Amino acid sequence: MKRICSVLLLLAASGMWHCFAEAQESGDVKTVIDAIDRLYRSSTSYADVEMTVITPHWERVLTMQAWTEGLDKTFIYITSPKKDQGIATLRIKNEMWNYFPNISKVMKIPPSMMMGAWMGSDFTNDDLVKETTLLDDYVGKLVKPPEAKPEFYYIELTPKKETVTVWAKIEIVAYRDSYIPVKQVYYDEKGNAMRVLDLKDIKEFDGRKIPAIMEMTPTSKPGNKTVVKYVKAEFDRKLPPDVFSLRSLQKSR
């Protein structure tokens, strides 16, 4: 009888530990996803960024300044090349505008265009201004692929029913100790990997470690990729007044 009781207690404890482990992993997933959402953001942020768009036939380099406030506000201002200087993008919550100085016109971007290419790059409008967040718009779970390494989390994200997106699934690989992602793969409804985001060259900016290089490669366009390089980044600093406003779109800097 004592042995039977001992076995039952062990089984019960094992079951409780399994439930606890699952709950802990579920909590870890949300923590990691939230950390990825906020990786390049804080209460406020400012960055000098260089974007290189590469195709088999030509290469184009853009430099820009970017400001953010929390997860709801983004402002991007292109500083070069000269023909693109002054083009600006503003996002406030779920609304987005572009300003084109050559025609002195502010254009509102409809939700249907959020997945369109930003400035001819392999990044979408949504990638640049983060109108959606992974934590709010996707359901995440931990997975363990055959090639899994112990130092990484492997997370599979699927969109919630109300989420408007072209991605049927996103796979993320992130360090367990820092939650810093190193790879994100985006899949269509047929299960095809459509693009791969590699995050490289982890550096410390203003006391925070982030990948200084983001490299987006579309799988359907051989020889194409877009590389974003962070040259400078500051966090939790006081920003210029009215930076997140339609009036600010048309100001020269």
Strands 59-69 and 44-54: antiparallel
How confident is the model at residue 128, as a pLDDT?
75
Tokens of 227: 């590389």
Look up the CATH number of the domain holding residue 125.
2.50.20.10
CB contact burial 46-64 (16+ within 10 A = b; e otherwise) = bbebbbebbeeeeeeebbb
CB 211 within 8 A of CB 36: no
Q: Is the dihedral of CA 195, 200, 206, 208 positive or negative?
A: positive
Please check whether residue 40 lies inside any domain of the structure.
Answer: yes
How confident is the model at residue 81, as a pLDDT?
97
Tell me how far apart the alpha carbons of residues 7 and 240 are, in angstroms, rounded to a whole number: 66
DSSP letters spanning 154-193: EEEEEE-TT---S-SEEEEEEETTT--EEEEEEE-TTS-E
Structural domain for 58, as ranges: 33-249
Please check whether residue 12 lies inside any domain of the structure.
Answer: no
How confident is the model at residue 17, as a pLDDT?
34
Hey, is 243 helix, strand or coil? coil
Give the total number of structural domains in the chain: 1
Please check whether residue 212 lies inside any domain of the structure.
Answer: yes
pLDDT averaged per 10 residues, the chain (length 253): 46 37 57 93 95 96 96 94 95 91 92 85 84 87 94 96 91 96 97 97 96 97 97 94 89 69
Please check whether residue 44 lies inside any domain of the structure.
Answer: yes
CB 25 within 8 A of CB 32: no
Is the whole model's pTM more than 0.95, yes or no?
no
